[in-house]
Amino acid sequence: MRNIIEELKKYKSICFYPSCGTDFSDIDYFCSGCLPREERKKESAIAEPWNKSFLEPEVFVHSDVNFYMEFEAGEELDLNEYGINSKYKILEFNQLETIKKPNRINNNLPFSGQIFEYKIKVWEKEKPIVLFFCLCENEYLISQIFLANKIPIAYIWSKNWNGGKTYGTWLARIAKQLGVKYFYTDWLCLPNFRGEPSNKSVYEKYPELKANNISKLERTDNHWIEEGAHGWVDEFVVI
């Protein structure tokens, strides 16, 4: 079976969506040419050409500790239910090598560590995109896959990451170390904001994720691009 590390090393531009659940709004946004949500939802919407100075995402990596049953459906997955506002076609579905016991904070369940790969044509783009859905902790992917193997992440997309056991602020703090250019998030991932919650369990189980030089997120003029349960997603440049 193919290994996730070997696969990710093939790509120059990666978008990572932690604790994604069944939401595909990052794929919908980027593949539409970065149309705001209300524009993407129009029946007459047509994808804009990519006009950014940075590379368009080639591959999307989604992670969550749950949702095994939804994603094992493979080519039967209905992406319109998960935030895709255009016609789509799942061209290919595969399962990669399973990661053994990846969770240090949450329990490891029989399906933990499984990785599903989708090749999808969306928004009538000529080139299909690749999605890896990883059933494991966000912390494990960052620590043991991206950082340990020096695989840069160009974009992070985060929506509604309200914790449970961890909160997205730890990821924002090390964004620059990961090579992140742009961070798309609601206020929940912003450090030093609205009584930032503790990520004690993250730093106890993954001490390597504690930032030495804390990254800063500077909000751009690209606002209100996606709405979640906890407000609007905005664009932040990582400095």
Count of Cβ atoms closer than 10 Å to residue 185 Cβ: 27
Determine the average pLDDT of the residues in 119-133: 95
At 180, the amino acid letter reads V
Q: Is 30 left (phi over 0), alpha (psi -120 to 50) or beta?
A: alpha
Task: Place 130 in a pLDDT band, splitting at 50, 70 and 90.
Answer: very high
Would the pLDDT of 1 be above 70?
no
pLDDT of residue 54: 87
pLDDT in tens, 54-90: 899 999 999 999 988 888 777 788 888 899 999 999 9
Would the pLDDT of 125 be above 80?
yes
Given a contact cutoff of 8 angstroms between Cβ atoms, the answer to whether 182 and 154 are in contact is yes
pLDDT in tens, 171-224: 999 999 999 999 999 999 999 887 788 899 999 999 999 988 889 999 999 999
Determine the average pLDDT of the residues in 117-139: 95
pTM flag (> 0.85) = yes
pLDDT of residue 52: 85
pLDDT of residue 212: 80
Please enumerate in sequence order all residues whose Cβ is within 8 A of that of 110, keeping only pairs 6 or more positions apart, or say none.
none
What tokens were used for 2? 């193919």
Give dist(CA 41, CA 169) in Å, integer: 30
Give dist(CA 48, CA 61) in Å, integer: 23
Residue 196 belongs to what H/E stretch? none
Torsion sign over Cα 166, 150, 51, 27:
negative
Would the pLDDT of 165 be above 90?
no
Give dist(CA 90, CA 110) in Å, integer: 26
What DSSP line would sit under 48-78, residue for residue? PPP--SSPPPSEEEEEESS-HHHHTTGGG--
